[in-house]
Amino acid sequence: MLAQVLGAFVGGALIYLVYHDAIASFEAAKHITRGTLGGAADSTPTFSNFATFPAPYFGSSLVGPVIDQIGGTGFLLMFVLALTDERNQPPSRTWPRCSSAWPLPPLACRSGPTPATPSTRPATSARFFAWLAGWGQVAFPGAHGYWWVPIVGPLIGGVLGAFVYDLFVGGVLRARGEPPAPDVEGFGETVEEEPTTADRQVDARGRTVRER
């Protein structure tokens, strides 16, 4: 978790390091004042390089963005569980890295309401960097106090996604008694054999050897 937080913060810093001249040029051309929220000088367009914000058509309501984050994270978790479930014929060991990218296009298509990936830690730490870099109230608390949405929404969505998968897929696989995939190592147990009657009647004989 700490690695994700620090990684997202460093990622935001690298974006600013590489594109700070381009951002400043865009702000000057569009008469944007960094840190201004709303109005003609709104700096949300340049802040969007670092973190999420609600689409303007939601107005002051955060219901739509919350549902968007819950739904996006829930879909992602269901997909991940489908790939890693040992009873759901998971892909071979050479495929998980490639197959994990499959849900990204659908997530990109649903990212219009809150353009972002559904993850709490990257969204928060990159937003914190933007706050330090001068975007101020645009980052925290954000438009209509939006900052908590990409934190709470994915947490709820992850739980719901896992519940839905277990209800409609996991439970069915267990009821069918599906065995684990062949390339998945099963769990074993150690069995201690009890000596037979014949073994008990045999006395071990030996001799003592004295070394010189």
CB 125 within 8 A of CB 133: no
- Give the residue carrying structure tokens 């670092």: 50
Dist. CA 13–CA 136, nearest whole Å = 16
pLDDT tens, position by position, for the chain (212 residues)? 788 889 989 999 999 999 999 999 999 999 999 999 999 999 999 999 998 888 888 889 999 999 988 988 898 889 888 888 888 776 666 565 555 566 666 665 555 555 544 556 567 899 999 999 999 999 999 999 999 998 899 999 999 999 999 999 988 888 877 666 555 554 555 556 666 655 555 555 555 556 65
Q: Which residues are CB-neighbours of 143 under 8 A, at least 6 positions away?
A: 37, 38, 44, 53, 54
CB 181 within 8 A of CB 86: yes
CB 53 within 8 A of CB 142: yes
What pTM value is reported for the model?
A: 0.71
Report CA 26 to chain centroid distance, whole Å. Answer: 32
Task: Spell out the domains of the chain, with CATH numbers in brackets.
Answer: 2-181 (1.20.1080.10)
